[in-house]
Structure 1
């Protein structure tokens, strides 16, 4: 098995992609298959709002190869409402629901609210220790102290390292470098976390979320540091997953592929991405 870098977006269906990157119309149970021709990973953001049925998840699995990566977000009930306490029942339901993904469930994504701070780390430690070791965890924190207070950062790292869990950075530094210029950017300006940059990996499967701008050139300019970091991880034998976001996500799949191409230019032994399924049916005439 050669080196693998997986890239993806925040969703696998988006109005802006219809008829341009993905055929339109496309039945629901075909959308992910077509997206998987562009990217080989996806953020499972929908599971934050509701736990899907195993039947729904089985449809996702059927549309993707076993090496496709889902980073599935834990339900809001678990992370935000109950803050990882007294969550046995919803966690069991969630793990049962995603079982059809099999090896595609690359990581359970524990996205914690901005109010979940250093004092809550023992709660996180307890939660992570109780999870079955059939799943890897990746934790995203948004409390500033984890980034600015070295002791808080070290404590979190040691809790994560104890269970081989990753720390997911959400790099919004390129996005917040200049004031917003569009409605999509203004909307993201009020919603996205503004945190210091973090680039360290804890495990052999780092996961990065990167937010660019509506202007593709600015997005590409802002990810330059990640090209070197990602190439370095690959040379160390790690297998990273990088998610490319922009405020409107209109070109996210093509940008994710471009990121992969640019890393591959540095690491030529990297396995190529799949070929997209053509949008227009090819004919002989």
Structure 2
């Protein structure tokens, strides 16, 4: 099972391109007709009410999947410590039903690998698929990979010019975020780069979630569909 989509969908800069002649209220359903998964980012900034998740679920095809980004209160403010209450509030807010995919935990660039802190955090996570995206070079270590493997948590393979790309598969699924190889959130992936990512995904031979985050100039949707084509996947969904 390979799912490919974009990181978020609310981008005014797509208005004259991918969303041309599409009213804003239909942006999600329009995008969901062209990809098989979307990463919800608004949950990172503030706790979303369950009604939002239910609404988003109704606007997408039956076999659609959302990944949900964990709150920055947990990752950036509390830095994975003393997180029982905000973690419970976040998990209790989720109301996507069968469309719930992995929860992704994006760590701040200043956070170094601390095995004790990460071990406690992983032990606190509820059942389900989780992925961790570190942005510091100190995570390039077997001790980090071994911790994730022990909990069947995916390391997020990230591609970006401003933080390390650490390629490791640590769970029974893989999770990829493509932020733009040359310019963060901007640059498009060319044919050679898409071919290379397709090869890696096939070599991993497991469920894989891929999210294009090069959204600022609209490359994400084209890249998502281009990668899907290379993997022999349908590039449209049906409501």
TM above 0.5, one fold? yes
Give the 3-state SS of the residue equivalent to 1:39 in structure 2.
Answer: coil
1:194 paired with 2:156, answer no
1:110 paired with 2:105, answer yes
Q: CA deviation at 1:76?
A: 0.8
Cα deviation code 1:186-218 (max 9, x no counterpart):
xxxxxxx331x33331223201111335564x5
Give the 3-state SS of the residue equivalent to 1:203 in structure 2.
Answer: coil
Contact 1:41–1:68 (CA under 8 A) maintained in structure 2: yes
Q: Normalising by structure 1, what TM-score?
A: 0.75
Q: CA deviation at 1:37?
A: 0.5
Contact 2:187–2:219 (CA under 8 A) maintained in structure 1: no
Q: 1:157 corresponds to which residue?
A: 145
* Higher Cα radius of gyration: 1
Q: Taking structure 1 as reference, are residues 249 and 9 closer, same or farther at Cα in structure 2, changes over 3 Å only? A: farther
Contact 2:194–2:226 (CA under 8 A) maintained in structure 1: no
1:259 paired with 2:215, answer no
Q: 1:274 corresponds to which residue?
A: 236
Runs of 5+ consecutive residues of structure 2 not aligned to the other structure: none
Q: 2:35 corresponds to which residue?
A: 39
Deviates further, 53-62 or 207-216: 207-216
Looking at structure 1, the residues matched to 234 and 79 of structure 2 have their Cα atoms a distance apart, in angstroms, of 40
Q: 1:179 corresponds to which residue?
A: none
Give the 3-state SS of the residue equivalent to 1:108 in structure 2.
Answer: strand
Q: Which has the higher helix share?
A: 1
Q: Taking structure 1 as reference, are residues 219 and 43 closer, same or farther at Cα in structure 2, changes over 3 Å only? A: farther
Q: Taking structure 1 as reference, are residues 138 and 249 closer, same or farther at Cα in structure 2, changes over 3 Å only? A: farther
Give the 3-state SS of the residue equivalent to 1:243 in structure 2.
Answer: strand
Runs of 5+ consecutive residues of structure 1 not aligned to the other structure: 148-152, 177-192, 265-270, 278-285
Looking at structure 2, the residues matched to 220 and 167 of structure 1 have their Cα atoms a distance apart, in angstroms, of 25
Looking at structure 2, the residues matched to 143 and 215 of structure 1 have their Cα atoms a distance apart, in angstroms, of 22
Q: Which has the higher strand share?
A: 2
Q: CA deviation at 1:16?
A: 3.1
Q: What is the root-mean-square deviation in Å for CA atoms of aligned residues?
A: 2.2
1:78 paired with 2:71, answer no
Q: 1:57 corresponds to which residue?
A: 53
Give the 3-state SS of the residue equivalent to 1:206 in structure 2.
Answer: strand
Q: 1:209 corresponds to which residue?
A: 177
Looking at structure 1, the residues matched to 209 and 147 of structure 2 have their Cα atoms a distance apart, in angstroms, of 22
Q: How many residues align?
A: 235
Cα deviation code 1:201-250 (max 9, x no counterpart):
1223201111335564x5433333211111223xx3x1111112326241
Q: 1:21 corresponds to which residue?
A: 18
